[in-house]
Structure 1
Amino acid sequence: MFSWLARIVSACLRPVRRYARMSKGDNLDDVSTVGDALVWGKDLEQHSQVETGSDAVFVGVYDGHGGAEASRFINDHLFLNLMRVAQENGSISEDIIRNAVSATEDGFLTLVRRSYGIKPLIAAMGSCCLVGVIWKGTLYIANLGDSRAVIGSVGRSNKIIAEQLTKEHNASKEEVRRELKSLHPEDSQIVVMKQGTWRIKGIIQVSRSIGDAYLKRPEFSFDPSFPRFHLPEPIRRPVLTAEPSICSRVLRPNDKFIIFASDGLWEHLTNQEAVEIVHTNPRTGIARRLLRAALNEAARKREMRYKDLQKIGKGIRRFFHDDITVVVVYIDHDLRCKNVTVPELSIKGFIDTVGPSNFRNLRGLE
């Protein structure tokens, strides 16, 4: 058993137990964020998931677009699909995680098919999906979209070093545009510059996601009555994919923590800035500290004070910064030799409770 995960669990659960039922406007005892409606709010809870077990941790960051149905579906099904596939195969691996993502995509497209007649806009709902699994000392990362996982490690000079673990599937990246053009040589409009941003078919920036059925299945193409999602002509084959980029690595003694965050954080903080904030500050409230740093930078870019940004209404604030979801997992190697019981708990967005995790069903797997 990897009892070093106990510290990870306790670091996560102390604030979670206290704030799991909190909503916007409740008090925080972190002096840097007391009364700060931008930093803590119920809307920020909906896009993440943490599952802890005796020798495993699961983290999910789900950044939805077009509506909440896709990210909610992932929250409800991805981890359960992972547990099912892992049990069937007796282990966890890159292929197991890939199969769990595929099953989640298939499940959501089935939901779209069933609901399309009464709720057609469900075909335009999708979600980026970043997943991290620590299983018996190995870290697995799967990503669709432009969320990012960054690991902080101590280098030879005892300085913290940032290493990005994920590839971002966003048309703003030249390599993504090249990939799309090579996959669709017959389509001169596969990527289009619109409103100063490269977009796939002039509509969406991310090239991989769960959902977005109208860009994957011709039968879900919209007619002109849906101008925001209408394509000049129906697609002949998918222009988006649900194939994740996956990597794995054995955790090393100098690995200290992992930051999982949606693109809203990385729009304002570099990898190195983020790991330095985590490395040089107390653990309690560290995700909120990262969020505050990003919002401060967003205000600075607009030549505003942070207090002025706080006064902007939620609907308008979207023009100043994107939604931001952050989860930080600390890695404590010095606890491996201690006999510590790790609770198997599930902390999920969209609900306000902490409950038992299905990680208990993985006992005995290789």
Structure 2
Amino acid sequence: MRDEDVYVMNLGDSRAIVAQHAENKETGSSQTGDNGTVVEGVANESTNAEREVPDQDVKLTALQLSTDHSTSIEEEVTRIKNEHPDDNHCIVNDRVKGRLKVTRAFGAGSLKQAKWNDSLLEMFRNEFIGDAPYISCLPSLRHHQLCPRDQFLILSSDGLYQYFSNKEVVSHVDIFMDKFPDGDPAQHLIEELLLRAAKKAGMDLHELLDIPQGDRRKYHDDVTVMVISLEGRIWKSSGKYL
């Protein structure tokens, strides 16, 4: 962040969203934050950043400032297939080489260069065809100019969005901050996620928390959340204390 300019560079499927006041119908102001732009020459697919239109009774809407890089995004799957025309198994079971859901990331060297793949034990090697990497480290870069309608930013790993939409995340934070101005909205989101995960699994929260963290991956992913108010406060939570 620099003055009124926010730059978001991302790899993978973590997200950055900004909460905005919904459109003022009397003034006709834009509801979806048209001041967000893609920085050319970095990653043009950033234009598919999610812009959610709220219901009429919703106080805030969510503008996604990051680009999801996963096999759930058709453009990402098409890109990988185009870069590996001789490999019919570059995407298997909705995963890159049958292994990773994300299509861009740090690490994953064995899916970036053949020499790192060859250094693995045979049972872990991939069939690396051609010279192009399967997992890219080219980020998406997006610029957003803050405006009076912007209220706060939320950065989170993808586990949060297994149970919440962007709009729901913004709504939960907004309501919590209004009711508990001295509370921790990041921790609140983690707790709400665990409640949803427990309910989906047909158990009470305390039953879920009694499961060792490694085994709990069956019910929810690791999650880290950061909420940044535009007034200078920052809250962080990873739920590791639970």
Q: Same fold (TM over 0.5)?
A: yes
* Letter of the structure 2 residue corresponding to residue 301 of structure 1: K
Equivalent in 177, 189, 197 of residue 89 of structure 2: 189
**1:151 aligned residue (18, 41, 47):** 18
Distance 1:199 1:241 in 2: 14
* 1:230-283 Cα shifts (integer Å, max 9, x gaps): 113465321111110110011001100010000011111111110011111135
Identity of aligned residues (%): 32
Distance 1:226 1:163 in 2: 44
Does structure 1 residue 210 correspond to structure 2 residue 106? yes
Matched, 1:273 2:172: no
> Given the alignment of the two structures, is residue 285 of structure 1 paired with residue 184 of structure 2, yes or no?
yes
Distance 2:86 2:121 in 1: 27
SS at match of 1:281: helix
Q: Report the CA distance between 1:200 and its aligned residue.
A: 0.5
**TM-score normalised by the chain length of structure 2:** 0.76
User: Per the alignment, in what secondary structure is the counterpart of residue 280 of structure 1?
Assistant: helix
- Count, aligned residues: 197
Root mean square deviation of aligned Cα: 2.1
- Deviating 4+ runs (over 2 angstroms): 172-175, 222-227, 232-237
Match of 1:163 in 2: 63
CA, structure 1 residues 156+234, in 2 after alignment: closer, same or farther (shift >3 Å)?
closer
Deviation sequence 1:75-109 (CA, Å, 0-9, x none) = xxxxxxxxxxxxxxxxxxxxxxxxxxxxxxxxxxx
Give the AA of the match of 1:170. S
For the residues of structure 2 that align with 1:313 and 1:226, how far apart are their CA atoms?
A: 31
TM-score (norm 1): 0.51
> How far apart, in 1, do the equivalents of 2:78 and 2:60 lie?
34
Query: In the alignment, which residue of structure 2 is the partner of 1:308?
Result: 207
Within 1, Cα distance between the matches of 2:115 and 2:89?
A: 20
Gaps (5+ residues) in structure 1?
Answer: 1-133, 333-341, 350-366
2:82, 2:129 → 1: CA distance? 20
Counting only pairs closer than 5 Å after superposition, residues 69-218 of structure 1 correspond to structure 2 as 134-156=1-23, 159-193=59-93, 198-218=94-114
Check whether the contact 2:8–2:141 (CA below 8 A) recurs between aligned residues: yes
- Work out whether 1:221 is the aligned partner of 2:88: no
Partners in 1 of 2:67 and 2:152 — Cα distance? 19
Q: Is the alpha carbon distance of 1:233 and 1:331 closer, same or farther for their aligned partners in structure 2, counting shifts above 3 Å? A: closer
* CA distance 1:156–1:180, change in 2 (3 Å): same
Q: Please, which moves more after superposition, 238-247 or 180-189?
A: 180-189
Instruction: Please state how far the C-alpha of 1:226 moved relative to its aligned partner.
Output: 5.1
Note the C-alpha offset of 1:301.
Answer: 1.6
Unaligned 5+ segments in structure 2 are 25-57
Letter in 2 for 1:306: L
Deviation at 1:148, TM superposition (A): 0.6
Pick 1 or 2: higher relative contact order, CA cutoff 8 A, min separation 6.
1
State the distance in 2 between where 1:318 and 1:161 align: 30
Give the drift of 1:174: 2.3
* Counterpart position of 1:336: none
Structure 2 counterpart SS, 1:211? coil
Report the AA paired with residue 311 of structure 1. D
